Every structure is written in C-alpha cells, then in structure tokens.
Structure 1
Amino acid sequence: MDLDRFDRQLLNLVQEDAGQTAERLAEQVALSPSAIQRRLRRLHEQGVIEREVAVVDPKAVGRPTLFIVALQVERERPDLMSQLRRWLSAQEHVQQAFYVTGEADFILVVTAPDAESYDALMGRLMSENANVKRFTTNVAMSVVKRGLSIPITMGDGA
C-alpha cells in the first residue's frame, strides 16, 4: 500500500494515542476531520491498522511481575509447531510470543500476579506440550521501555 505524508503523520499520531478525536488529529495533520476519519477507516480496512488497544498499568490490575522466557523445542515438525503456537496464543498470561532464530526457538513475554502463577503456567506448558525441551526464565526487574509503536518516516528519511 502506498502511504502518503498525511497517512504517515496519522499513523504516528494514533500509535501514540489512538483515543484522539478526528478534530484533534486534524489540527495536527492539517486535514479536515472528515478527511481524517476517511483515512483512518481506509487504514483499518486495508489492515495497516490492525487494532486499537488501551495500555494498562500491570501493577494497577494485579499483574506486577513480567517474565521473559526462552523456549526450546525437541523437533520442529510443522504439526508440533502449529500445536505449540495455538497453545501459546490461547494463554492469557502470554502477552507476546516470537518464533526466533538462535539458541531458543521462541521468546515469550509473560505477565503474572506472582511467581506461583507463573510456575503453574509453565507446568501446564510442559505437561501439555511434550515437544517442549526446556525453557529459561528472566524476571524483569523494571521496565525501561514498553511499547509497540512502529517508527514511520515521512518518506524523506525523517
């Protein structure tokens, strides 16, 4: 899809705060509110904007602990990998899961209220997925940066 300067500006702005009104966005992009709404609708329809979410403070909702998990599998058979992907996708504690290169096969970002909840999740992972060989866990001591924004240049390298 071809994104013009206005689309790129809009994408940067809504990644920062998707709750802005069309009027507020129009002030920043120099388009009319109706043009903003049309562009946003098109960006949604074409899959450029996948979804809009609220960023919640984990501590405020009783999930203060963040675990970064490196997961290794025994075999990379397509059926076994597909089963594991489905299992990971269904777990509410798993915020993000990446299939990666290197020593680990998957990197997971897991949130939990405490170590006991995390331990129970990983116990289920091992018992319900015989193809999982091992995992290692890092506990996040603090969050330095958290986000999903994709930097979008204006097309002139800026």
Structure 2
Amino acid sequence: MEMLDNTDKTILRILQRDSKKTAKEIANLLNLTVSPIYERIKRLESKGYIEKYVAIVNKNMVGLPITAFCQVSLQSHGESFIDKFENQIKNLKEVQECFHMAGQVDFLLKINMPSLEEYHEFMRSKLSKIDNIGVLNTTFSLKVIKHTSEYYL
C-alpha cells in the first residue's frame, strides 16, 4: 500500500466531512489547481482509499430512534459455524453493523429499530432463530455523545 502525502490526507479529511465537495472547491481550499486535485481524488478512489460516497441519514427522522447493541456468543466456534452465522446476519436488514470480536463475546451487532416492541419482535422472530447462538445480551443507547463516520488521519 502506498503512503499518502499530506495533500492526499487533507483531501480525504475534506471528503469525509462533505463528500459533495467538488474538485474545484477542494482545490480552492488547498490553493491548488483543479486538475491535480481531480487526479488525486480519482487515484484515491481507484486504489480503494475511498470506497464509496453515501448520505448519512438522520435515524430519528426516518423512524428508527432506538439503537441496540447486541452481544452474541456462539455455542460452537468452528469455521463453518462462524461462516454460517455471518451469512445469516448479512441477510438481516435490521442489522446495521456486525463486528467479529475478540474477548468474551463473539459478535457485536448494531441495530436501529422504531420501538422496543419491534426490537423484541425482531429478537423473537429473527435473531434468536439463528442456529448456534448460545447467548444474546442487548444494551440500549440512551444518548449519542459522539457519532462520526470520519477516520482520524
């Protein structure tokens, strides 16, 4: 993997904050010309530093105010059991993020739901039906202190 110079890192910081910034706007911020900035952005995209551009949606405004963090421990830890669990989780649209963890739990799921009742129904009808789950432990977010999609560069 190639090393990023300070200009590349600055471009990434700017795009993380506002992916709608144009090459011209970024060039103006950096006191550079448009063409090299455009080429740098295209290189960062083609090399995989920029995976995709997204809109960050306000979860409350779309009716998903409840954020649950569900810790999952599996009964069996063989590769085929882990692969099967991961594939089943990928098919649950309610699961926003899933991390394979080291430590006392095997997986950590982030799930946003309209209500506690709907989370309960999701647990009963979908999540708890997945084979090989030993323990499910859910905690709920009371308040978001910091939420960012930016990486510190």
How would you bin the TM-score normalised by the shorter chain?
Answer: over 0.9
2:103 is the alignment partner of 1:105: no
C-alpha displacement of 1:102 = 1.2
% identity of equivalent residues? 26
DSSP-derived class of the 2:110 partner: strand
Q: What residue is the counterpart of 2:127 in the other structure?
A: 125
In the alignment, the residues of structure 2 paired with residue 73 and residue 30 of structure 1 have an alpha-carbon distance, to the nearest angstrom, of 54
Deviations 1:71-104 (A, max 9, x none): 1111111111111111222222111111111111
Instruction: Report 1:37-76 matches (<5 A).
Output: 37-76=38-77
Structure 2 unaligned regions, length at least 5 = none
DSSP-derived class of the 2:71 partner: strand
Which amino acid in 2 is paired with 1:125? Answer: L
In the alignment, the residues of structure 2 paired with residue 33 and residue 64 of structure 1 have an alpha-carbon distance, to the nearest angstrom, of 41
TM-score calculated relative to the size of structure 2: 0.93
Which amino acid in 2 is paired with 1:90? Answer: N
TM-score calculated relative to the size of structure 1: 0.90
Structure 1 unaligned regions, length at least 5 = 153-158
DSSP-derived class of the 1:41 partner: helix
Aligned residues: 151
C-alpha displacement of 1:148 = 2.2
C-alpha displacement of 1:117 = 2.1
The runs of 4+ residues in structure 1 deviating greater than 3 Å are: none
C-alpha displacement of 1:142 = 1.1
RMSD of equivalent CA atoms? 1.2
Deviations 1:131-153 (A, max 9, x none): 1111111111111111221111x
Q: What residue is the counterpart of 2:12 in the other structure?
A: 11
